[in-house]
Amino acid sequence: MGCLAVIFVGLLNRVMLTELGFPGLLVGGALAFEQIVAPSRILFGQISDAHPLAGRHRTPYIWIGTALFCGLAVLIVPLIFRLHAALSAGAGWDIALGAAALCGLAACYGLAVSLATTPYLALVIDSTTEAERPRAVGLIWCLLTVGIVAGAIASAICLRGLDGVTDPAVLQPALTTFMGRLVLVVMALTLIATWGIEPRGPQLQRSRAEEREDAITLAAAWRLITSSRQVLVFFCFLMAFTLAVFLQDPILESYGGEVFGMPIAATASLSAVWGIGTLVGLLVAGFWLVPRLGKFVCARLGCQLILASLVLLALVGVTAQPQALKVVIFLFGLATGIGTNATLVLMLDLTLPEVAGTFVGVWGLAQAYSRAAGKVLGGGLLDLARTISPGSGPFPPYAAVFLVEAAIAVLALVLLSGVNLRQFREDTGRSLDRVLAVELG
């Protein structure tokens, strides 16, 4: 998942924005559909609970979902180049149909990811005790980051021959071959990793719907969000924090290409640098900072470091030095890891034990829709900045997006100052009984 995530968010964004000249709003808006379909996990979780395939409730759905998103990942490459041909020819209907197809394919990809990952998370719960679960979740986050680094390194190595290439006739076959090989590796790893993990039939103690993060409906989520001021404050903080981390995702590699003159292989390595920084930040926060300073202090520190990194990300464009950009991106990853670890600990604390899955579902929806908004806003703000300042060169529009993202980090800090764990527990004890009775009854 980490390998394919970096390809979608980094490499394909870069190719569409820089080499093919797609509008940023089109790129971000289309790829946001992957996150918009996130509530489908509710349905897939219920299906996995109730309808075993070949005597198993989890692994068949994981395999089917993985096969589907691997196939769709390969299909997106020719679709991108068909849309580019339509844009170049100025064919109105073909452009509309191509854009709709790109949105639809991204949505189907998101559905396939949900089909694979919801039963996977349920299998983690089925296979672990309550004491083991936090370590399992921590390991999953670390390996997701390792996958991002591996995908970025693979892109940098395999696509070196595309340095300076903008000809679609050369780009398309190279990207199609690379994507085909990558998804074969992903499919093989999935089969190896899950084979024999799940026993058949009645031996499996399936997790109940209310114990999992997918057991949350939109209506119930809204009731929970509005039932307590503390729930609403933390929900808004999560949205602001996620936006502050991911708003630049759709444009970061294009920033390296247009402002720093970096080729495709070099910009692909930026995700590896960010991933390594994030992994270091997760480990440093988990083993040292959070136990010593506390989760609130570390969450505040993470937000402050993200704010500083975003300002540096805007300023480093003045130098146009690729090595300086890599240093800043490593620092940004380090800040992201520290903030993410502390925020995850806060998420676990800001739950009611008897309905932990429902609360985690609310927090998960905040993150999913913030990432979708980040993809749309990142590309849209870049287009807007280019429209406002035509002829200003490539640097100012990107700097404007990073400064807007820095302002969102300031908002996250303000919202975090309003989070009070004791008040949360008092509020939920008094006011959520009726809401949860409706949801769980």
Sequence-distant (6+) residues with CB within 8 A of 434 are none
pLDDT at 117: 85
Please give the structure tokens belonging to residue 253: 């590699």
pLDDT at 353: 52
More confident residue, 355 or 336: 336
Compute and round to an integer the Cα radius of gyration of the chain: 22
Least confident residue range of 85-94, 345-354, 425-434: 425-434
Task: Round to whole Å and give the CA distance between 191 and 62.
Answer: 9
Q: Is the pLDDT of residue 34 over 90?
A: no
pLDDT band at 186 (very low <50, low <70, confident <90, very high): very high
Q: Is the pLDDT of residue 215 over 70?
A: no
Q: Is the pLDDT of residue 270 over 70?
A: yes
Most confident of 31-45, 162-176, 299-313: 299-313
Question: What's the whole-number mean pLDDT along residues 302-318?
Answer: 95
Q: Is the pLDDT of residue 214 over 50?
A: no
pLDDT at 204: 46
Pick the CATH number of 1-197 from 1.10.10, 1.20.58, 1.20.1250, 3.30.70: 1.20.1250
Residues 277-289 pLDDT 10s: 998 998 888 888 8
Question: What's the whole-number mean pLDDT along residues 49-62?
Answer: 87
Most confident of 45-59, 193-207, 396-410: 396-410
pLDDT at 208: 47
**391 φ, ψ (degrees, to nearest 5):** 80, 10
Please give the structure tokens belonging to residue 255: 């920033």
pLDDT band at 101 (very low <50, low <70, confident <90, very high): very high
| pTM assigned to the model | 0.77
Q: Tokens 């591996």 label which residue?
A: 150
Please give the structure tokens belonging to residue 402: 């990073």
pLDDT at 433: 58
Mean pLDDT computed over every residue of the chain:
83
pLDDT band at 103 (very low <50, low <70, confident <90, very high): very high
Pick the CATH number of 216-441 from 1.20.1250.20, 1.10.357.10, 1.10.150.120, 3.30.1120.10: 1.20.1250.20
Task: Round to whole Å and give the CA distance between 48 and 51.
Answer: 6
Residues 398-441 pLDDT 10s: 999 999 999 999 999 999 999 887 777 676 655 555 555 555 55
More confident residue, 77 or 212: 77
pLDDT at 305: 97
pLDDT band at 205 (very low <50, low <70, confident <90, very high): very low
> CB–CB of 251/381 below 8 Å?
no
Least confident residue range of 262-276, 310-324, 423-437: 423-437
Task: Return the HEC string of the chain.
Answer: CHHHHHHHHHHHHHHHHHHCCCCHHHHHHHHCHHHHCCCHHHHHHHHHHHCCECCECCHHHHHHHHHHHHHHHHHHHHHHHHHHHHHHHCCHHHHHHHHHHHHHHHHHHHHHHHHHHHHHHHHHHHHCCCCCHHHHHHHHHHHHHHHHHHHHHHHHHHCHHHCCCCCHHHHHHHHHHHHHHHHHHHHHHHHHHHCCCCCCHHHCCCCCHHHCCCCCCHHHHHHHHHHCHHHHHHHHHHHHHHHHHHCCCCCHHHHHHHCCCCCHHHHHHHHHHHHHHHHHHHHHHHHHHHHHHCHHHHHHHHHHHHHHHHHHHHHHHHCCCHHHHHHHHHHHHHHHHHHHHHHHHHHHHCCCHHHHHHHHHHHHHHHHHHHHHHHHHHHHHHHHHHHHCCCCCCHHHHHHHHHHHHHHHHHHHHHHHCCCHHHHHHHHHHHCHHHHHHHHC
pLDDT band at 222 (very low <50, low <70, confident <90, very high): low
Task: Give start-end residues of each CATH 1.20.1250.20 domain in the chain.
Answer: 216-441
Question: Exposure string (b/e) for 185-217, b if CB count within 10 Å is 16 or more?
Answer: ebbeebeeebeeebeeeeebebbebbbbbbbbe
